[in-house]
Structure 1
């Protein structure tokens, strides 16, 4: 019998599961819209909806991870206005923040532009924000700036920050522990003038909690 490529089978299964989650989200949205105003079950439905959105985003992330790890992903780098890119990220993630009574905002120079793969960075930012949702007390910020020919996109919160005991594998861990690995691969996939992208775990000077900084060469 021909040997099966289990990674391809798993990737296909994840793709099908992602489609099913999408169908559930569509049905849940219809149910939410059919409820009368101030219905007692609305908050429960929102929590379920946000959990499904997070699961859907994780499936997307795992598919990208499979392609990155197997050299099957073709990087699509383009020029983006960071003000528009970050605004899109906040819009997509705001409901999840609101469900936990957290403020989510972004800050960058209105004219700042950068070169990167939009799909990968959308997944990385989403992963980092979902992680920050677990630890933030009241606020999360997504910031962007240019430092020494690197575009730096950072996700910061006002939680307790990183502790001395935290190892890389503990940070950004999802249910499978692949969150940080995906973020690292996505950053390092960006190469320009022999410079490779990378991550840094830091303390947020503005909020006092944790800060994940993604450095992308320009």
Structure 2
């Protein structure tokens, strides 16, 4: 029991210190420095962000493995606004000719009940995978299908069969599944899907009841 609490304390401390490091690197990037220094600061900031995300995923997976599993603290949220925020924040991660687009269906309700923290964790994981493999475009989507709200992240990369798996822990995929299952409503559970896109590339979908 002591080991479990000690591990959690150390991980949370690391997460907080990474947040401080990320904030300091952001401030560094705003200074009047040579372009090469800005490039190194940006890359360091991105790595700190990835490490923070991995730690949060690990803590979430650890929580899901405990008695009672992962629980969603669902509240009334504005799904379109959340996706808009995600799009804006992700712009700083886009380099070169990569485009980040939004596709929001007209019939999406103004409000939906879900745990925004957990949903963002799953979508951020999917977005980082898309950033690794996209050739020119990533699309963040939002629609309603079969009475469920569906967030999606698609890319125009090589698709799932061509995606190297040897350097993946599978942690992000596990967390996405647990986040989906933690959302329940009227006897239905959420689900996550990772598949090849009909037009090429891969698409991740998170369905919330």
Same structural fold, with TM-score higher than 0.5 when normalized by the shorter chain:
yes
Partner SS state of residue 6, structure 1:
helix
- 1:77 is aligned to 74
For residues 118 and 72 of structure 2, the distance between their equivalents in structure 1, rounded to whole angstroms, comes to 9
Q: Which moved more, 1:15-24 or 1:103-112?
A: 103-112
* Equivalent-residue separation in structure 2 for 1:68 and 1:187 (angstroms): 12
Say whether 1:45 aligns with 2:45.
no
Distance 1:77 1:17, change over 3 A: same
User: Which consecutive unaligned segments of at least 5 residues does structure 1 have?
Assistant: none
**Whole-angstrom distance in 1 between the partners of 2:138 and 2:55:** 23
Aligned to 2:104: 108
Q: Bigger shift: 134-143 or 70-79?
A: 70-79
Aligned partner (choices 136, 142, 156) of residue 138 of structure 1: 136
Residues 116 and 136 (structure 1), Cα distance of their counterparts in 2 relative to 1, 3 Å cut? same
Q: 1:99 offset after TM fit, Å?
A: 3.4
| Residue equivalent to 2:153 | 155
Could you tell me whether the CA contact under 8 Å between 2:140 and 2:152 is conserved in 1? yes
- Higher alpha-carbon deviation: 57-66 or 129-138: 57-66
The worse-fitting range, judged by mean Cα deviation, of 67-76 and 131-140 is 67-76
- Alignment length, in residue pairs? 206
On the 8 A contact 1:82/1:110 being kept in 2, the answer is: no
Pairing 1:68–2:68 present: no
Assess if the C-alpha contact under 8 Å between 1:150 and 1:215 holds in 2: yes
Counterpart in the other structure of 2:14 = 17
CA contact 2:70–2:179 (8 Å) conserved in 1: no
| Cα distance in 1 for residues equivalent to 2:71 and 2:39 | 40
Q: CA deviation at 1:100?
A: 5.7
In 2, Cα distance between equivalents of 1:95 and 1:193: 39
The Cα shift of 1:73 comes to: 4.9
Q: Distance in 1 between matches of 2:147 and 2:188?
A: 9
Q: Which TM-score applies when normalising by structure 1?
A: 0.84
Q: What is aligned with 1:183? A: 176
Q: CA deviation at 1:8?
A: 2.8
